[in-house]
Amino acid sequence: MSSTQGQVIRCKAGKPLVIEEVEVAPPQKMEVRLKILFTSLCHTDVYFWEAKGQTPLFPRIFGHEAGGIVESVGEGVTDLKPGDHVLPVFTGECKECRHCKSAESNMCDLLRINTDRGVMIEDGKTRFSKNGKPIYHFLGTSTFSEYTVVHVGCVAKINPAAPLDKVCVLSCGISTGLGATLNVAKPTKGSTVAIFGLGAVGLAVSCEGARIAGASRIIGIDLNPSRFNEAKKFGITEFVNPKDHDKPIQEVLAEMTDGGVDRSVECTGNINAMISAFECVHDGWGVAVLVGVPNKDDAFKTHPVNVLNERTLKGTFFGNYKPRSDIPSVVEKYMNKELELEKFITHQVPFSEINKAFEYMLGGEGLRCMISMEN
């Protein structure tokens, strides 16, 4: 099996992305080489492109929300073959470790997310190079490339009839928000749900998770009032802006809901919003789920009585979905019209204009920008 050439978007910290031709090496043991057909831009790509989230590692090929086709497979790969339609995922499922064998966890020991690693697990080398010099991977996926090499444990085989330009958004943010509600918060029909942060993940929680669960009231909390009209299209029934009140937002929500909401989901990563999301749930049965990633020096502080009064605080990673086992069934929800994805895709650009996608994201325009690899 030989190397292939392909166009990639190569990145330097904070600089406009550049399209270049690079060598993409053949997949090694337990790896697959994918032909990426569609990829979308997530806030995580922007965060690391700005070099805010890691020890800078450049040049690097970003991208982790994508859909494609298996081009070739390496030694030991038995459950994928060339031509299979797949979603690469930034975290994995080896199916052998204690986490993978547990029904309660998706935190694979071998393949869980590693933002600093820029090489493949098998041999500690990159599969991308130019003029003999390595170009580093990102989140084990690097989907801003016509071809990429991914560990087989980070690849979900899906229904070949599913449109990749729609379902590729399930490989990160939408599944994270959806699973945070359906798999972790688990609101019952007729319950009240508060969503902190109305970005893509928050709207995935509110519209799809809470809607599918049958929540009767879905209260959106955000500092940006311009988001409310858009949020209503996604299922938000009420909107609260903390700036409009002279008391803590948890007190406002408690007054609105006769003591507190049944479930809350925090999607911003702001430590104060996290505390409010916990303290706004009803005593006795309230459950708060943290999705947003806080700053490394943040500390969560609340009075122990809030816990003793039978409020529950939970965290979630990728919506508690196991990539290989669970994501194919989430795709089927879309195919069966239980799940809506089109409204999350607000822009579309060709691969050659990927910098426009960054401009949309940095300008706060829309939710997801779909990037077609065929210009």
Does the structure show a pLDDT above 60 at 58?
yes
Does the structure show a pLDDT above 60 at 138?
yes
**Among 10, 148, 172, CA closest to 68:** 148
Average pLDDT rounded to a whole number, residues 282-296: 93
- Answer for the pair 67, 168: CB distance below 8 angstroms, yes or no: yes
Burial class (CB in 10 A: 0-12, 13-18, 19+), 285: middle
Average pLDDT rounded to a whole number, residues 356-373: 84
Residues with catalytic annotation? 42-44, 64-65, 94, 97, 100, 108, 112, 172, 368
Span 59-114, pLDDT tens digits:
889 999 999 999 999 999 999 999 999 999 999 999 999 999 999 999 999 999 99
Does the structure show a pLDDT above 80 at 54?
no
Tokens encoding 317: 């990673």
pLDDT at 112: 95
Q: How many whole angstroms separate alpha carbon 320 and alpha carbon 304?
A: 27
pTM for the model stands at: 0.91
Of the listed ranges 6-15, 22-31, 182-191, 325-334, the one predicted with least confidence: 6-15
User: Among residues of the chain, what percentage have pLDDT more than 70?
Assistant: 94
Q: Can you list the alpha helix ranges (DSSP code H) found in the chain?
A: 43-49, 98-101, 164-167, 173-179, 200-203, 211-213, 227-233, 249-256, 271-279, 304-308, 323-335, 354-362
Does the structure show a pLDDT above 90 at 303?
yes
Q: How many whole angstroms separate alpha carbon 248 and alpha carbon 196?
A: 14
Q: How many whole angstroms separate alpha carbon 75 and alpha carbon 73?
A: 7
- Answer for the pair 237, 166: CB distance below 8 angstroms, yes or no: no
Tokens encoding 346: 């607000």
The three-class DSSP label of residue 240 is: strand
Q: Is the dihedral of CA 209, 214, 215, 220 positive or negative?
A: positive
Determine phi and psi for 180, rounding to 5 degrees: -60, -35
Does the structure show a pLDDT above 70 at 8?
no
Average pLDDT rounded to a whole number, residues 255-270: 96
The one-letter amino acid code at 158 reads I
Mean of per-residue pLDDT scores for the chain: 92
Determine phi and psi for 82, rounding to 5 degrees: -55, 135
Q: How many whole angstroms separate alpha carbon 368 and alpha carbon 344?
A: 6
Determine phi and psi for 164, rounding to 5 degrees: -65, -25
* Residue of 54 and 255 predicted with greater confidence: 255
